[in-house]
Amino acid sequence: MTRFDVLTVGNAIVDIIARCDDQFLIDNKITKAAMNLIDAERAELLYSRMGPALEASGGSAGNTAAGVANFGGRAAYFGKVAEDQLGEIFEHDIRAQGVHYETKPKGTFPPTARSMIFVTEDGERSMNTYLGACVEFGPEDVEPDVVAEAKVTYFEGYLWDPPRAKEAIRECARIAHAHGREVSITLSDSFCVGRYRDEFLDLMRSGTVDIVFANHDEALSLYETEDFDTALRLIAADCKIAAVTTGKDGAVIVRGNERYVVDAHPIEERVDTTGAGDLFAAGFLFGYTQGRSLEDCGKLGNLAAAIVIEQIGPRPMKSLSEAAKEFGLL
């Protein structure tokens, strides 16, 4: 018996989301469709230049935990906030989703992380993230009993930016594998892959990580190739299971010599892609921990991604379990 289906570990961030045009990105030297790490001074500058904004709890792994819980799964989360207003918002929101969250906050400085997210007319999101209290996350924040009692421990590649978090992740992996559990990573961003390619490959090849999530560009970046089939062949050799999203084409899931192409779930309007990859992982891992086929896992992931793309903000405002039932997936 296990207490949790999925434990996620990541940067606890409150998203501040506003619409803009492409010229705004150019004028403010923001790399489009990427996660740009910024300092406190630039965070204040960009905030002062934002239009009307929506505040919503985010953070890649936090979104995934919320998605698993929304499907009806048992989710837990590790991530560091400060004792401030944004920290209280984050704590309230993730617990209100039914996610186990007991990481102790870290004083008032540095403050809770925030990400200024600019959404252009094409629905693409460009993130500018001040990590704040996230950099304080370390091995002392690992709850060994939670790791031991989770079927899958999932962490975001972004967590490789704060140095002490690496120690915490390795400790989680040690505990998980000692109890016969599995460990998963999302590569997070092609620029993140560029920073930590060798370390990510070592995590996979050493067996520290069992299940890998990536998008098309991250997979190409990981193997420094322009051929997608080559990237799929290599990633299949380096880990137990890989789920690679391909935008409007859906996803490809590989396990050894098995390959499943899963069509994207149809959407009416591409409003905001913030959280799409996080929710794909949520649907996939929910299905996986319920013993569903890899193809069904991909369908659940694509459904969750489609739902979050049709709204502003990274956490679905509608019931994923009800939507899955409506489409015959549960």
Tens digit of each residue's pLDDT (9 = 90 or more) over 60-111 = 999 999 999 999 999 999 999 999 999 999 999 999 999 999 999 999 999 9
What pLDDT shows up at residue 163?
82
Among residues 130, 147, 139, 141, the alpha carbon closest in space to that of 164 is found at: 139
With vertex at residue 166, the alpha carbon angle to CA 17 and CA 96, rounded to the nearest 5 degrees, is: 45
Segment (H or E) for 17: strand 13-19
Question: Shortest CA distance to 308 belongs to which of 274, 262, 269?
Answer: 274
Whether the CB-CB separation of 12 and 81 falls below 8 Å is answered with yes
Q: Are 137 and 110 in contact (CB under 8 A)?
A: no
pTM of the model: 0.94
Stretches where the chain sits below pLDDT 50 are none
Residue 1 pLDDT: 75
pLDDT value of position 251:
98
